[in-house]
Every structure is written in C-alpha cells, then in structure tokens.
C-alpha cells in the first residue's frame, strides 16, 4: 500500500527536472556512465540548444567507463562543431570512448579532479557469422583503432607509435600521469580554478 499523497509523488517527479533545469541554466552537461546512442542524442541536443542560446562557455563533467565508439565519436564531433568554447572536467574515471569525448575540448580546456583515473585501449568488438563477415568486421575494428590512435596522438602530442603501443592493452593513468601525458591541462580542487 502506498501512503504517499499525490502532492508528494508529484514533488518527487519534479525534483530531477528542477535539478537538470538548474544545470542547464548554468550551461553544464553531465556525461556519467556508459556511452551509448541515447546518451549521444541527449548530449548532442543539449550542446545544440546551449549553443543556440549564446556563446558563453559550456562545461561538461565526464565520469564514464566508455562504451559505443560511434556514440563517443558523435559527442566528440559535436563538441568541436558548436561555436561556444567547451570546457571538460574529468571526475571518477574517464576511459575508452569517454577519452574520445574528453579529448574533443581544446587542450587548455581539459581539467581533472585530483582522484580521476584515465584509461586508453584499443577498441573491442564481437561478431558472429561466416568467415567473410568476421574478416570484414576485423578490418573495420583495425581501421577504427588506427583512427582513434591518431585522434589521441594529435590531442596529446604523443607520437602515433607510442599511442599504438600504449593502447595495445588497457593503459591506466592517474590524473598526474595523464597531465604529463598531455591529456589534461590542469588538475583542479575547486571550480574557482577553471579559467
């Protein structure tokens, strides 16, 4: 039996909307969890709407284990596409497709909270079917790996060869190590440190 009255239920449903509205007013987007098509659509919509509302910077907080490569590419490309400056802040962990999104911001706009961990690796995929289909998919995964490695190399200043070696397996970095690697510009403790 539910003892909540109608007003309490309505207030509970409105709280997340009020929270998201406040973040939107502050020009802040959250990317938390798995990168997938639904998240890509949501973030793309938010970026386009915020860009239409004005040229003030947009902040994106990222805490993601990664996910679908193409969904990450969609968000990456949209960050570069919109006119307002985009500032990214890594928190928790930024891994795999989350790195692709994170690196879309200009180097000077890539911040990290101190306990954030970063991970790069090669794309993974699974396929079943005839040997020809498996061969086609394997070639596409190799092309995807080369493209992502070039993206990481360009964004960090590391050589393509180093990135290829480092992404051969999961390559974890602390915030300090990621800063030395060229992934982040500044480790911050408070929001006042974002310029």
Q: Is 131 a catalytic residue?
A: no
CA-CA distances (angstroms) from residue 75 to 22, 104, 121, 127, 159? 22, 8, 19, 25, 24
- Report DSSP state, residue 109: G
Selection from 186, 38, 183, 176 nearest residue 100 by Cα: 183
Q: Which of 68, 96, 112, 164 is catalytic?
A: 96
> Which H or E run contains 34?
strand 28-35
SS percent in the chain: helix, strand, coil, step 5:
50, 20, 25
Query: Which residues, listed in sequence order, are joined to residue 110 by a DSSP beta bridge?
Result: 88
Q: Is 96 a catalytic residue?
A: yes
Cα 115 from Cα 118, distance rounded (Å):
10
Q: Which of 64, 76, 112, 121 is catalytic?
A: 121
Distance spanning both ends of the chain, measured CA to CA: 52
Residues assigned a catalytic role: 96, 121
């Amino acid at each position: 039996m539910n003892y909540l009255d109608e007003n309490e239920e309505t207030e509970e449903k409105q709280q997340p909307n009020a929270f998201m509205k406040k973040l939107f007013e502050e020009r802040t987007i959250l990317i938390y969890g798995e990168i997938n098509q639904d998240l890509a659509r949501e973030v793309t919509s938010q970026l386009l709407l915020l860009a239409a509302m004005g040229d003030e910077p947009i902040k994106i907080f990222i805490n993601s284990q990664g996910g679908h490569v193409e969904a990450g590419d969609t968000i990456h490309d949209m960050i570069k596409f919109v006119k307002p400056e985009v500032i990214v802040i890594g928190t928790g962990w930024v891994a795999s497709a989350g790195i692709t999104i994170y690196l879309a911001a200009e180097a000077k706009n890539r911040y990290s909270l101190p306990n954030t961990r970063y991970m790069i690796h090669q794309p993974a995929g699974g396929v079943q079917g005839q040997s020809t289909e498996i061969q086609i998919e394997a070639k596409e995964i190799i092309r995807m790996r080369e493209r992502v490695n070039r993206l990481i190399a360009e964004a960090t200043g590391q050589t393509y060869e180093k990135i290829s070696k480092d992404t051969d397996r999961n390559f974890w970095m602390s915030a300090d190590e990621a800063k030395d690697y060229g992934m982040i510009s500044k480790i911050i403790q408070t929001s006042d440190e974002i310029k």
